[in-house]
C-alpha cells in the first residue's frame, strides 16, 4: 500500500514565513530557512514554499531565498509564486527546487503547464488550485487566483482535468473556505478531484488535528495532507503527527 505523505507549507511574504486565515490578516511567524531545517529534521516528507504575493505584485521567484531553503532540506521541495515563464521554471529548479507549483500563472497561460512538462517532465509540474464553494458552477466549486482575490470563472473540476491533460503531474488542492481555520479539510472537494484525475492530489486548507488529516487521507482519497498552522503553532511535531496517523491505520513513513 502506498504511503501517505505529510507535507509542510511555508507561505512566504517579503522573505518571511507568514500565516493568515483565508489568506487574510497574515502575521510574520519566522524565518523560512530556519523553519524548513526544523521540519526536515523532524521527518517531514516534503516541503512546499509559496511566495503568496509574487503573482499579485507581478514579481518573479526569490531565487536566493529558494536556494538557501534548498540547502537545508534533502527531501522533495516544491516552490510556487510568480513562476510565469519556462525561464522562471528553469531558474527555480536550478536554485534547488524539485517541483514548481503553477497556480495564477497557469490560469493566465495554460500552455505553461504543457511547455513545462515537456521540458522538465510532468513530475516537476504541480497544478496549484485555490478553490471556493460556488453553487453557480457545475461541480459546486470555482477557481480563484492571486491568493483568492480574483475569481477566474473556471469550474474547479474542469480546470483540474484540463491541467492534468496539459501535463500537470500532481495537484495541490487548497480550499479557500477552510484555509487557516483549523476546522478540517474540505473532504468532499478533495474526493471529487481525486476520483476524477489520474495524478496524486494533495489536500490543503483547514488541517487542525490529526483526525482531520486521517479523514482527508482516507475518506477524501488524498495522497498527501498539507499542513501549516498545526506545526507552526508548536502544538504538533511531524513525528507526533506521523505516530498518531500510524495508530489510526494510515500508512505513513515513520
Residues that are catalytic: 11, 130
Angle, vertex CA 249, rays to CA 74 and CA 206, nearest 5:
65
With a CB cutoff of 8 Å and minimum separation 6, the contacts of 104 are: 55, 56, 145, 146, 150
With a CB cutoff of 8 Å and minimum separation 6, the contacts of 187 are: 215, 216, 219, 220
With a CB cutoff of 8 Å and minimum separation 6, the contacts of 132 are: 141, 142, 144, 148, 151, 175, 176, 177
- 9 forms beta bridges with 48
CA distance 4 to 75: 15
CA distance 174 to 168: 16
CA distance 173 to 130: 7
* Joined grid coordinates for residue 201: 492530489
Amino acid at each position: 500500500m502506498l504511503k501517505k505523505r505529510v507535507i509542510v507549507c511555508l507561505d512566504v511574504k517579503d522573505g518571511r514565513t507568514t500565516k493568515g486565515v483565508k489568506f487574510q490578516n497574515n502575521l510574520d511567524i519566522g524565518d523560512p530557512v530556519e523553519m524548513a531545517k526544523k521540519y526536515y529534521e523532524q521527518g517531514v516528507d516534503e516541503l512546499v514554499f509559496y511566495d503568496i504575493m509574487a503573482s499579485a505584485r507581478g514579481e518573479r521567484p526569490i531565487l536566493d531565498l529558494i536556494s538557501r531553503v534548498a540547502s537545508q532540506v534533502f527531501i522533495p521541495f516544491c516552490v510556487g509564486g510568480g513562476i510565469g515563464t519556462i525561464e522562471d521554471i528553469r531558474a527555480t529548479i536550478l536554485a534547488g527546487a524539485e517541483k514548481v507549483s503553477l497556480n495564477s500563472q497557469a490560469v493566465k497561460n495554460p500552455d505553461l503547464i504543457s511547455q513545462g512538462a515537456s521540458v522538465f517532465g510532468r513530475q516537476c509540474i504541480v497544478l496549484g488550485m485555490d478553490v471556493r464553494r460556488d453553487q453557480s458552477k457545475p461541480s459546486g466549486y470555482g477557481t480563484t487566483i492571486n491568493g483568492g482575490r480574483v475569481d477566474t470563472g473556471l469550474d474547479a473540476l474542469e480546470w483540474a482535468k484540463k491541467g492534468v491533460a496539459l501535463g500537470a503531474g500532481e495537484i495541490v488542492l487548497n480550499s479557500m473556505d477552510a484555509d487557516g481555520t483549523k476546522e478540517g479539510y474540505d473532504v468532499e472537494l478533495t474526493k471529487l478531484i481525486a476520483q476524477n484525475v489520474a495524478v496524486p492530489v494533495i489536500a490543503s486548507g483547514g488541517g487542525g488535528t490529526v483526525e482531520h488529516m486521517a479523514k482527508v487521507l482516507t475518506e477524501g482519497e488524498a495522497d498527501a495532507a498539507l499542513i501549516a498552522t498545526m506545526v507552526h503553532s508548536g502544538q504538533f511535531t511531524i513525528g507526533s503527527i506521523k505516530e498518531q496517523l500510524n495508530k489510526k491505520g494510515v500508512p505513513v513513513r515513520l
